[in-house]
Amino acid sequence: MVKIKGEYITLGQLLKKEGLIAAGGETRFFIENNLIKVNNELETRRGKKLFDGDVVEINSEKFVIKNED
């Protein structure tokens, strides 16, 4: 589970928050070279907004977005 504050988090922010990338500049490369699905749909946009309840799957590892507010 990934806890967020606010309405949403972007895919790029999620990757950094979870330690999958060290800096924002790595986002595009990571997305191009890994299988990422949001709610079972292939996703390639680093700016994709992720909301409470969304399920993100990155190379078979699942992350559920949970709003703390």
**Per-residue model confidence (pLDDT) at position 45:** 97
Rounded Cα–Cα distance for residues 40 and 22 (Å): 26
- pTM (two decimals): 0.92
Take residue 66 and report the two structure tokens written for it. 């949970």
CA 20 to chain centre: 10
**Per-residue model confidence (pLDDT) at position 55:** 99
**Per-residue model confidence (pLDDT) at position 29:** 96
**For 22-63, what is the HEC assignment?**
CCHHHHHHHHHCCCEEECCEECCCCCCEEECCCEEEECCEEE
The CATH fold assigned to 2-67 is: 3.10.290
pLDDT tens-digit profile of 1-45? 999 999 999 999 999 999 999 998 999 999 999 999 999 999 999
**Per-residue model confidence (pLDDT) at position 42:** 98
What number is the average pLDDT over the span 34-62? Answer: 98
